[in-house]
Amino acid sequence: MLSMDDEKDLQTVKLHLRIDFDEDDESVKQMVLVAQSMLMGMIGSDDSYTSFYREAKYGEVFDLATLFLTDHFYKTRSATTSLSFHETPQGVQAMVLSLKPAYLQYINEFEEVEEERYGDRTHE
């Protein structure tokens, strides 16, 4: 998962956005955080399972969706534009649709492991 505390990740985002100056860094960081928050809201955002977004097989797709959505925010940051854009780019929607069932499966597998490790605590 991209971290805006990591300069390397910020540079990755700026490269994707084709930004070669530093004046927009704070805005870009904010857009990345908002994009991640929105995506997690669409996929699943239970604090107990945030490790899902750091797993390699899911994290790469999540990061790409973050880059796409951040790019969309950056290009449409003005109140007026002559371009026609959708609220969420279709590529992002496809990635969310692929991650949502994977997230639900991840939760189920996580809970099964916890139940095996600690037993069924629902009846306590």
**Amino acid sitting at position 53:** Y
Confidence band for 112, pLDDT divided at 50, 70 and 90: confident
The residues near 43 (Cβ < 8 Å, ≥ 6 apart) are 62, 96, 99, 100, 103
pLDDT digits (tens, 9 = 90+) for 9-55: 999 999 999 999 999 999 999 999 999 999 999 999 888 888 899 88
Question: Per residue in 77-103, pLDDT tens?
Answer: 776 555 555 567 778 999 999 999 999
List, in order of start, the domains of the chain with CATH numbers.
7-118 (1.10.3230)
Reading the block at residue 123, the tokens are 């009846």
For the cut 60, the answer to whether the pLDDT of residue 123 exceeds it is: no
Cα maximum dimension of the chain? 60
